[in-house]
Amino acid sequence: MKTLVCTKPGEFEYAAAEQPQLKPGYAIIKIKRIGICGTDLHAFEGTQPYFEYPRILGHELSGEIVAVDSAPGFEVGEAVTFIPYFNCGTCIACRNGKQNACENIKVCGVHQDGGMVEYCSVPSYCLIHGEGLGFDALALIEPLSIGAHGIRRAGVTKGEFVLVIGAGPIGLGTMEFARIAGAKVIALDVNGERLKFCKEKLQVPHIINAMDVDVMAQLKSITNGDMPTVVIDASGNLKAINNAFQYMSHGARFVLIGLPQGEICFSHPEFHKREATLMSSRNATREDFEHVITSMKRKEIDPTTYITHRVSFDQVKDEFESWLNPSKGVIKAIVEMV
């Protein structure tokens, strides 16, 4: 079968590999769609933590089961996606139902080879039923689940002002699930086109360009002087994260979905007097995946809104680097497998 390998930062090569054989407790999926995410782009750049080369990228995947073992209810020929965070099942996180934060986690396409292949072998326990959704939608369940998990971590309630920093695909999904939770969403980004997308495509009621000198004044005006009770970073930008501590209301929660390299720095007296809460949000759980699927089926969210670029598998090597260029306007690129 044909694969696409990131041999080192900035370099892809197509290569032939043996088609996987069915193992006990596994399923083999014929890949139909591959979503390109920030993790893939950062890996190509050489700025992705927890990464070694060479590596086959790809974890936003959908496809068709061609063989399966130990997965009651799943059938050959069924359209599926899967949870790409493979957990050990025995560590303290797994025992406490936080498989997304497993001590020994192996993320498909990060810690081990991923889905830029014709056929992919995955643990059967990770399979997710397609529920009648198309392959495009199924490939976008994973990135949307990241946002859904962050909103669940924050415990967002109806009527709250939720500030989401970063209007990339993860941030956009976070905004969508904040809206579904009943929040009043504020989008903050440095990219005017991304903010325009928030306003026009997602109907985000409040947008702020982070390059403006009066961000604090705008936040106070929007929130009637209170400031947001929930701040969520989906940018992964260290400067943006450090700046955002000043955007919290008293009693606020600050959730870090983005993953920068480096140390967070903030004033403890300012944080302490707010009795603020700081937490990370890593990956997602089956509960989040199911919430996304339900939201799609209820038409509360349209996954195709995010797809701005589409290529065949044979075009990825030549097109991939261009998706790093902000002028290309990429929200979500989708790779189609034959």
Q: What is the pLDDT of residue 89?
A: 95
For range 137-146, the mean pLDDT: 97
For range 4-33, the mean pLDDT: 97
* Cα–Cα distance for residue pair 17/12, rounded to 1 Å: 15
Q: What is the pLDDT of residue 260?
A: 85
Residue limits of CATH 3.90.180.10 in the chain: 2-139+302-336
For range 177-190, the mean pLDDT: 98
Q: What is the pLDDT of residue 133?
A: 97
Residue 172 near residue 198, CB atoms below 8 Å: yes
Name which of 11-25, 116-130, 256-270 the model is least confident about: 256-270
Residue 142 near residue 35, CB atoms below 8 Å: yes
Task: Inform me whether the pLDDT recorded for 94 exceeds 80.
Answer: yes
Number of H helices, E strands in the chain: 11, 17
Task: Inform me whether the pLDDT recorded for 49 exceeds 80.
Answer: no
The pTM for the full model equals 0.95
> Residue 207 — very low, low, confident or very high, per pLDDT cuts 50/70/90?
very high
Please identify which residue in the block is written with the tokens 């700025």: 47
Neighbours of 35 (CB within 10 A): 26
Please write down the long-range contacts of 19-22, taking CB distance under 8 Å and 24 or more positions apart.
Answer: 19/118, 19/119, 20/119, 20/120, 20/121, 22/67, 22/68, 22/69, 22/121
* Cα–Cα distance for residue pair 132/236, rounded to 1 Å: 34
Nearest to 176 by CA among 131, 232, 134: 232
CATH architecture classification, 2-139+302-336: Alpha-Beta Complex (3.90)
Task: Inform me whether the pLDDT recorded for 161 exceeds 80.
Answer: yes
> For the chain, what percent of residues have pLDDT higher than 70?
100
Q: What is the pLDDT of residue 142?
A: 97
Residue 296 near residue 303, CB atoms below 8 Å: yes
Task: Inform me whether the pLDDT recorded for 213 exceeds 90.
Answer: no
> Residue 189 — very low, low, confident or very high, per pLDDT cuts 50/70/90?
very high
Give the helix, strand, coil percentages of the chain, each rounded to 5.
35, 25, 40
* Cα–Cα distance for residue pair 6/10, rounded to 1 Å: 8
Q: What is the pLDDT of residue 338?
A: 77
Q: What is the pLDDT of residue 326?
A: 87
Strands in 206-209's sheet, in edge-to-edge order, are 206-209, 184-189, 161-165, 230-233, 253-256, 277-280
Distance of alpha carbon 62 from the chain centroid? 15
The model's pLDDT over 242-300, given as tens digits with 9 standing for 90+, comes to 999 999 999 999 999 998 888 999 999 999 999 999 999 999 999 999 999 999 999 99
Residue limits of CATH 3.40.50.720 in the chain: 147-280
Q: What is the pLDDT of residue 261?
A: 80
- Compute CA distances 166 → 93, 94, 160, 231, whole Å: 28, 30, 19, 11
Task: Inform me whether the pLDDT recorded for 241 exceeds 90.
Answer: yes
* Cα–Cα distance for residue pair 93/80, rounded to 1 Å: 26
Topology (CATH level 3) of domain 147-280: Rossmann fold (3.40.50)
For range 115-119, the mean pLDDT: 98
Summary mean pLDDT of the chain: 96
